[in-house]
Structure 1
Amino acid sequence: MGLTGLMRERMARDEGPIRVALVGAGKFGAMFLAQAPTSPGIRVVAIADLDPARARRTLESVGWRADRIDAVRIGDDAEAVMAADDVEVVVEATGDPWAGLRHARAAHKAGKHVVMVNVEADVLAGPLLAREAKAAGVVHSMAYGDQPALICELVDWARACGFEVTAAGKGTKYLPGYHESTPETVWDHYGISGEQAAAGGMNPRMFNSFLDGTKSAIEMAAVANATGLAAPVHGLGFPPSGVDDLPHTLRPRAMGGQLDGRGMVEVVSSLERDGRPVFRDLRWGVYVTLEAPTNYAGACFRQYGLLTDPSGRFAAMYKPFHLIGMELNVSILSAVLRREPTGTPRQFSADVVAVAKRDLAAGETLDGEGGFTVWGRLTTARRSLSDGALPIGLAHGVRLTAPVRRGEVVRQTDVALDEAHEAVALRRALEADSRATLGLDPLPTPAPVA
């Protein structure tokens, strides 16, 4: 039975709508809130935001009536909101990895399902969060509508049909020079002024993360850790490709494609390397490419109009758009009614490491995702651990103890980490488990922060 049918059964049992608490009322949260009034099976009972007045303005801006707003508890204490008896599902949409880890763990402990919009937190220590959720008997889920969950759905579809997945990922706007973009230069690349961006409520750090490759790396790490697909050890290649060329571009290099091997995550660019737009680009969408297991299957691909490479052996399925928070209900309904996530971190196979945007001096403080100092590069967990690399999720507000040259990976020995911090401790636990699994030597005990 579909989700709407299961919801009707719940309502027929007089159990009422699913009761949701939202943590973080930014753009994603606003798009979810816009759908809530037309979703009879879902009721937002509480919102936590660092700026409660902003949260109320968000509700007004997406069209909520005053009486509906007054029925929602709005405050700045996320843990109090999540612990309330009338909350069944927590939507964590802050985008802050450290806050996300703390909120998810508190929600699990309180017996609440978690829909994790905060991909940054999942990439930093998601497998441990999923393990804690399972032990607590609750669901820890990716957010449907965001590209990682949609990619996971396409991968699951392909595998359920008996196809081998060659590649999966999304589209974005990319040129190599974007890696050095900062919040001061980001709007030039988007072709708008800072004044126009401010008038539209656009966050320069967030949009810079989209542009400099960090967000793409984070999202592809999340997909790899949820599906078992491999990450390219040297980072995403961002090959230019329109939808018609996906089966050709996203096949192994040995066969004329752009992949290191079969079963990879990759992001395609909507721009050619000279800046020209790609024909029929996939900038807002997601895709999966697959290989026909038999000649008969390949013939069926062609007969039914599936996009294929010239050989007919590789084919692609894609979704051209995603609506982020406006599709989030799928995750909420699935968590409660089916007790199934729409994607969840199952293993630590991919990581996102901090890379210097410019020459950095000892004593400087890193400013994390979307900032002025570092960008995030995708790699394998094995490579990250072998290099002792600093994950992008820990590269915010930490002081460099050694210089790092432009383009080099920042290593954990290059910074002063607070080992007592919850996020650092969780990451250390994940790394210790993974080192043992991969047969790597344990790291030496870090020196205490001065």
Structure 2
Amino acid sequence: MTNLSTKLAQLEATGKPIQVGIIGAGKFGSMYISQSHRTTGVRLACIADLSVQRALDALKRTGFPEEKYDNEGILSIEDGIKENKTTITTKAEELIATPGIDVVLEVTGNPAAGVRHALLCCEHNKHIVMINVEADVLAGPLLMRKAKEAGIIYSMAYGDQPALIAEMVDWAQTAGFDVVCAGKGTKHLPGYHYSTPDTVWSHYGFTEEQLASGDFNPQMFNSFLDGTKSALEMAAVANGCGLSPPTHGLAFPPCGTHDLPNVLKPLSEGGQLEKYGTVEVVSCLEKDGRAVFNDLRWGVYVIIEAPGSYQRDCFAQYGLKTDKSGRFAAQYKPYHLIGLELGISIATIMCRGEPTGQCRTFAGDVVATAKRDLKRGEKLDGEGGFMVYGKLMPARNSLAIGGFPIGLAHGIILKEDIKKDQVLTWSDTDVSPEGTSGWSESTRAAVAFRQEMERLFRGEFESDNEAMIQ
């Protein structure tokens, strides 16, 4: 990655900067917007958002130079590219179809929209950075295959934790180490699974001034708190790195950076993991609510194992944090800057023809799980809402029970009563034409696409099982 800025400078010098389109001007999108005009060799060609005012507010709030964007809505996207001005549209499909756009950033957070936009990128030959982890976990394993067939790059977003974890896993494997565990830190207590948008801010400590800035969506932030976002991100890591989710979901063990190699090793070796080669999220809070010493709340990590005594001695000689045996060592990055670092993905795709992490298989899934007793006839309110949280599980297990993906748990009507902490299944939900009469066409298409993916991988898993028996 050491010469990306040089390659970008060459693009600038030849008058061929990378033209970027972004879909979604929320928090993550705004963070990228704030850096886009500072990056040599890159142009923010267009912002697509359902609200023109939200896009304009993002430009103003982040300090984007006023002379560099069309604040009157006069220019077409193509004319904006010619005049080196960022344009705004309410139609994402228009952005994706514009010939001059090189890379599309999907930042909506809406799973159905993400699937639709990824398929449009395949149709219009546009590389896509899928910042929408909800869509990636819902349908990424099949979207990745569609992207490959279309000859485009489908990538994780550098700066977001899954891509940073994937980078660390790749580093470890390229250096010849087995990965014991990989993951991130967060703020979590068991009771947070039942948090709602009404209770979320009491756990964050934001000021009224911060909340009034427009950057803070209570349902989105609640998905961080109730464990859903962690489950989605670890599913993305499992699918991108070939690691295994814990059989019974994330445990969120309290753990500081000094203790990572002791806690995140298998039970057979004195740790807390059920097996080698898994993902896990560590909490910055002890079970009683006390702060963990040396917490990793904002960071990512990978645990590697010394394959022999020589490597173990090297770990000690070079000061790696290890467990008492000296075999298990941790590498970690204490912070991530999400949208502020997103330009790395754009440069890597366009200058090297490579993604910054991408879905490779279907190893992990996230299933909707009841926050409270739910009644037949109730309509689910989605990720981060009042009714369900997402539970990580192995994809094979999810398919075996017919688990209902968290990415579709919005606007769906229940056909059965559900007990608190019970995982939902397809048979619990009404996906008939009558039950989904209020759905958009893109949501119906996302359901069909997910069902196609499940049929595909169910067949592949069955074939694998038959091959193992033979």
Q: 2:404 aligns with which of 361, 365, 390?
A: 390
2:69 match: secondary structure: helix
After alignment, is 253-262 or 156-165 more displaced?
A: 253-262
- SS at the partner of 1:218? helix
8 Å Cα contact 1:187-1:194 kept in structure 2 = no
Other-structure match for 1:225:
239
Aligned to 1:262: 276
Query: Relative to 1, partners in 2 of residues 1:27 and 1:75: Cα closer, same or farther, differing over 3 Å?
Result: same
CA RMSD in angstroms, aligned pairs only: 1.5
Return the alpha-carbon distance in structure 2 between the equivalents of residues 241 and 141 of structure 1: 30
CA contact (8 A) 2:27 2:215 kept: no
Does residue 167 in structure 1 map to residue 181 in structure 2?
Answer: yes
The match for 2:224 among 207, 210, 233 is 210
Structure 2 counterpart of 1:7 = 8
Bigger Cα displacement from structure 2, 334-343 vs 190-199: 190-199
1:53 is displaced (CA, Å) by 1.1
The residue that corresponds to 2:445 in the other structure is 422
- Determine the structure 2 residue equivalent to 1:30: 30
Distance in 2, Cα, partners of 1:205 & 1:195: 18
SS at match of 1:144: coil
Between stretches 142-151 and 127-136, larger displacement belongs to 127-136
CA distance in 2, matches of 1:153, 1:220: 14
- CA distance in structure 2 between the partners assigned to 1:418 and 1:108 by the alignment: 29
- How many Å apart are 1:195 and its aligned residue? 7.9
Q: Which residue of 1 aligns with 2:350?
A: 336
Percent identical pairs in the alignment equals 55
CA distance in 2, matches of 1:397, 1:407: 20
Is 1:77 aligned to residue 91 of structure 2? yes
TM-score w.r.t. length of structure 1: 0.95
Question: What aligned pairs does 1:171-190 form with structure 2 within 5 A after superposition?
Answer: 171-190=185-204
Matches within 5 A, 1:397-408: 397-408=411-422
Q: Does structure 2 retain, via aligned residues, the 8 Å contact 1:32–1:328?
A: yes
Cα deviation code 1:275-331 (max 9, x no counterpart): 000000000000000000111101101110111001100000000000000100110
Q: Distance in 2 between matches of 1:169 and 1:196?
A: 29
Code of the residue aligned with 1:411 in structure 2: it is: T
Q: Residues 192, 144 of structure 1: CA spacing in aligned structure 2 closer, same or farther, 3 A cutoff?
A: closer
1:221 and 1:372 map into 2 onto residues whose CA distance is: 22
Q: Judge conservation of contact 2:240–2:358 (CA < 8 Å) in 1.
A: yes
Equivalent runs, 1:300-315 vs 2, <5 Å: 300-315=314-329
**1:345 equivalenced with 2:362 (yes/no):** no
* Distance of aligned partners of 1:66 and 1:358 in 2 relative to their CA distance in 1, 3 Å threshold: same
Cα deviation, residue 65, structure 1? 1.9
Q: Quick check: 2:368–2:390 contact (8 Å CA) kept in 1?
A: yes
Q: Is the partner of 2:367 in helix, strand or coil?
A: strand
For the 8 Å contact 1:388–1:411, the answer to whether it is kept is yes
Amino acid at match of 2:450: R
Change in Cα spacing, 1:38 to 1:426, as seen in structure 2 (3 Å) is same
Matched with 1:411 is 425
Is the contact between residue 37 and residue 44 of structure 2 (CA under 8 Å) also seen in structure 1?
A: no
Which residue matches 1:148? 162
> What's the offset of the Cα at 1:194?
7.1
CA distance in 2, matches of 1:226, 1:341: 11
Secondary structure of the residue aligned to 2:37 is helix
1:439 alignment partner, SS class: helix
The answer to whether residue 113 in structure 2 is matched with residue 112 in structure 1 is no
TM-score by length of 2: 0.91
Alpha-carbon offset, residue 343 of structure 1: 0.7
Partner in structure 1 of residue 21 of structure 2: 21
CA distance in 2, matches of 1:249, 1:209: 26
Where does structure 2 lack aligned partners over 5 or more consecutive residues? 71-84, 434-440, 465-470
Alignment partners' CA distance in 2, 1:39 and 1:192: 31
Q: Aligned residue pairs: how many?
A: 440
Q: Distance in 2 between matches of 1:86 and 1:238?
A: 45
* 1:377 equivalent in structure 2: 391
Corresponding residue number in structure 2 for 1:447: none
**Counterpart in the other structure of 2:55:** 55
1:353 Cα deviation after fit: 0.3
In structure 1, list runs of 5 or more residues that go unmatched: 442-450
Counterparts of 1:357 and 1:206, CA distance in 2: 16
Residue 28 and residue 196 in structure 1: after superposition, are their counterparts in 2 closer, same or farther (change >3 A)? closer
SS in 2 for 1:38: coil
Please say if residues 23 and 47 of structure 2, whose CA atoms lie closer than 8 Å, have aligned partners that are also in contact: yes
